[in-house]
Amino acid sequence: MAMVIALQNLLLLDVAVPLASVGSIRATGRHCGLEDEVQDKPVTPASSYLDDETNVRIPRGLTESQRLRLLELKVASATGWLKDPFVGFDPKYRDTCKNLSNLSEYGCAEGKDKCGGGYDHAICLDDWSPGQGNCLVYDFGIRENPEFGEVMARTFNCEVHAFDPSPITLKWFPTSEVAKLPNYHFHPYGVAGTDGIIQLHEYDWGQVSIVRDIYPPKQPKDFFNLPVKTLGTIMQELGHEGREIDMLKIDVEGSEFSVLEDALDSLGCLPAKQVTLEWHHYAFDPRYGGGSSPSVNTIVNIMHACGLKMFWRHSTTGWMSPEPRYKEAGLNDIR
């Protein structure tokens, strides 16, 4: 199941909260057992666990109050402890776009309207004035479908960076038409929540994915150890640090959660004017808010706090993975 949505950055709000004034409190009732127990234990030096980044990274570049607010947003969103736990799906979190396009009108190498599959992400062209030499596009996850980035490069003359470590992409790219474009740059690695090599699995349509098969497959599925980088590292290496990406497309077959969590932790808000994003609903349970899930809700709520508002979604149903078992399990994506 997957669903694509797009957001645009109307206003980059700082997520900082004012520091609360300091006062005194007095305990009036019994302390709970946990507190008593903790008091009896020797104080562990902070460095032994508060600085431990083996599994959870410490957000950099944020003030303490920003980190605290980020944590509040994460916890409250993941537990559904919000006035409206379905942030992003409610009209009050939405925005309208007058000039919406899925780019199909700009055609592809095969001609206009000849490459439907390539146009599953819509963008908003309001206030869009590329071609003035300063338009930056990141296209994460292309498989053999470069159409999105291709239009951005050919029609809008943007500097396009496309990323995909899938073996199918590496094989196809050198023979592709986009390889000839001087402003289209392909990078044979993926975006992720970490820098290094991660294990990705064979997935739909020859792509690789972080998603693991939960049932014993009929044929053993292959896995690949592939290079990945975080958004922050990529921007630094490509010399784009401090710049704002005009169009950020993320279609990375399940890695979107770790990619976005890392980017929001380390960069504060996404350095992007517009984001178009495909969700894979691994934590999806239709009972939880009719389409929201703790992980989607968390990321969406933080992006909303950063000033991004949703202006489009692919369909009200999303689409199914080609494997019949999803259909059999009744796992229709209802948002």
Ligand X SMILES: *[C@@H]1O[C@H](CO)[C@@H](O)[C@H](O)[C@H]1NC(C)=O
Would you tell me which residues interact with ligand X (CB under 6 A)? 99, 102, 104, 116, 119-120, 125, 128
Q: How far is the CB of 10 from ligand X (least distance, A)?
A: 18
Determine the angle formed by the axes of helices 64-79 and 294-305, rounding to 10 degrees.
Answer: 140
Q: How many residues does the chain have?
A: 335
Which one, 116 or 217, has the nearer CB to ligand X? 116
What three-state secondary structure class fits 132?
A: coil
Q: How far is the CB of 98 from ligand X (least distance, A)?
A: 7
Q: How far is the CB of 117 from ligand X (least distance, A)?
A: 7
Which one, 117 or 196, has the nearer CB to ligand X? 117
Q: How far is the CB of 205 from ligand X (least distance, A)?
A: 15
Q: How far is the CB of 119 from ligand X (least distance, A)?
A: 5
Whether residue 146 contacts residue 168, with contact meaning beta carbons closer than 8 Å, is answered with no
Whether residue 114 contacts residue 104, with contact meaning beta carbons closer than 8 Å, is answered with no
Cα torsion at 212, 196, 280, 298 (round to 10°)? 120
Residue type, 306: C
* Beta bridge mates, 108: 111
Q: Nearest Cα to 249, choosing from 2, 61, 62, 5?
A: 5
Instruction: Tell me how many degrees the CA angle 112-113-116 measures, rounded to the nearest 5.
Output: 135
Which one, 119 or 172, has the nearer CB to ligand X? 119
Residue type, 320: M
Whether residue 257 contacts residue 299, with contact meaning beta carbons closer than 8 Å, is answered with yes
* Beta bridge mates, 313: 5
Which one, 7 or 123, has the nearer CB to ligand X? 123
Q: How far is the CB of 3 from ligand X (least distance, A)?
A: 13
Residue that the structure tokens 């300063």 belong to: 134
Which one, 69 or 335, has the nearer CB to ligand X? 335
Which one, 115 or 252, has the nearer CB to ligand X? 115
Q: How far is the CB of 104 from ligand X (least distance, A)?
A: 4
Which one, 106 or 173, has the nearer CB to ligand X? 106
